[in-house]
Amino acid sequence: MAKAPNPQNGESSTPLAAQGDGLTNDGLIPQLFTSVPALNEAASYLAQTTSYITGCFSDYSGKLSFDLNIYYRLFAVEYSPIESHASGHAQELVTFAAGENEASSVKASEQISSNGNRSGNAESSSAKTSAPPHGHDEITRTSTGYQSQNSGTLIVSNHYFSLIERARRTVRGSADDIGWLQRDQEMPPVEDGTGRFKEIFDNIIFSTLVRHGVHKLPNSMVYLLIPGLFSNHGPLYFVDTKVRFSKMGLTCHIAKIHSEASVEKNAKEIKEYIEEIYWGSNKRVLLLGHSKGGVDAAAALSLYWSDLKDKVAGLALAQSPYGGSPIASDLLREGQLGDYVNLRKLTEILICKVVKGDMRALEDLTYERRREFLKQHHLPREVPIVSLRTEAGISPAVLATLSHVAHAELPVIAGEPAKLPVVMPLGAAMAACAQLLQVRYGEKSDGLVTCRDAEVPGSVVVRPERKLDHAWMVYSSLKDDTTEGDASQVCEALLTLLVEVGQKMRHELAMKDE
């Protein structure tokens, strides 16, 4: 049978009541429960849990103050006491916890001494006097734990900070990039050619209506039309313009390039196209590029001008993202729309898997890539350049417009194959994109390219008042008003203006030589 504890041996049940009063430090627990190991382990676990909870409250306070400090810094609100308040408050909690442990230790010691339970043991008293209280060790461990937990809080808070920065980048988007060409002091200025373009365009419309007008495009040149992104999948892309030019007796070609390839790859193919045309006809080539086709053509002249300077008469860029496109940048840039609704992944699948293209075709149209390319490769100053920028309409009539993009072959009827027009509401899509860019950035655009990014430095810029979206330039609508002109007539007017610009430049060079 187990014997009851003997009070004469220095053991007493009195300290058990003291534990309920807050005696939880490791310094006294081993002496109180040496005869009951199970209770000793339970009490140690309870003491460690209490220390951990105390550290958690201190950590929460420091975390809250740190997050508030981030908030005030992000939104430029002056609140400098945050840091000192955070550290001071956290220190106050640690000091309070340490003081409570010390007070508990002193209180327990006084109770033990007053009861006389340990006064008969001199060695034990001497040992307790000479040895430092274990409560101080617990305080040290608590402080160390607080520091490590505070480091963890710093990591978590940095994560919150990165989330806030990412949200700011998402909201800001391409606002700082749009129109960067106009702000670059190293870029040459543009010349407004809208007035002269309007005169040429009105004359073309009049000539078409009366059917006996004189067209001014010379037959001494070959006209090469360079289509833009996804043109390989639009059978009628630039077809109306080519047919019109052929009826006027002009030699016109549509460059058969892989429009979903990178800018540099297409630039090389265009260079080879130009050389082949020149060698076969002994005529100089006049280029007209639409959208990405204008960027590809400009890259060909920038990279291979030494080989093409005697073969190219000029370049017209229609609605080309020469400075970059906010649509491409917002799709591909980190922290933008493509990250939240998987648009980047869907676009990659569309370009790489569906149309068998290169993702660089779209990446090359971002502001970062355009800055990098134009910094290294400038357009030659001696080449005549005309650039057209337009603004899309958002009226209800535009939303109801259908664009003719292809033909569907039907079975033979009455000995002739029938064709059914394939139409798409491209005008409505362009109007929606234009409205989005207007609301988000306050920028006018044709639906895909902002007006400022389409103006090529050093070019004669055409800024028509008529609302023309990005798709209208290459796909005719079912209800075109013949009195206002169509896309093929706009292309004719652009190239006619380009011929005049080239003649003016040659005249100025001749005057300088004399």
28 has pLDDT over 70:
no
Angle between helix 134-172 and helix 37-74 axes, rounded to 10 deg:
30
Closest of 311, 290, 325 to residue 474, by C-alpha: 290
Higher pLDDT, 507 or 412: 507
Q: In whole angstroms, what is the distance from residue 390 CA to residue 452 CA?
A: 10
Q: Residue 254: pLDDT band by 50, 70, 90 thresholds?
A: very high
357 has pLDDT over 70:
no
pLDDT for 428-486, tens place per residue? 889 999 999 999 999 999 999 999 999 999 999 999 999 999 988 888 666 666 678 88
pLDDT for 408-428, tens place per residue? 666 666 566 667 767 677 888
Closest of 34, 57, 35, 54 to residue 46, by C-alpha: 54
Predicted local confidence at residue 442, as pLDDT:
93
Angle between helix 194-210 and helix 487-513 axes, rounded to 10 deg:
130
| pTM of this structure | 0.67
- SS3 string, 226-252, reads ECCCCHHHCCCCCHHHHHHHHHCCCEE
Predicted local confidence at residue 164, as pLDDT:
75
Average pLDDT score over residue span 215-229: 92
pLDDT for 141-176, tens place per residue? 555 555 555 666 666 567 767 777 777 777 788 899
Give the domains, in start order, of the chain with CATH numbers: 172-322+374-390+451-511 (3.40.50.1820)
Count CA within 13 A, CB hemisphere, residue 62.
Answer: 25
Q: Assign residue 346 a region: left if phi > 0, alpha if psi is -120 to 50, beta otherwise?
A: alpha
Predicted local confidence at residue 473, as pLDDT:
85
Predicted local confidence at residue 344, as pLDDT:
64
How many beta carbons lie within 10 A of that of residue 484, not counting itself?
10
pLDDT for 108-138, tens place per residue? 444 434 444 444 444 444 444 444 444 445 5
Q: In whole angstroms, what is the distance from residue 137 CA to residue 25 CA?
A: 9
104 has pLDDT over 50:
no
* Contact call for residues 297 and 289 (beta carbons, < 8 A): yes
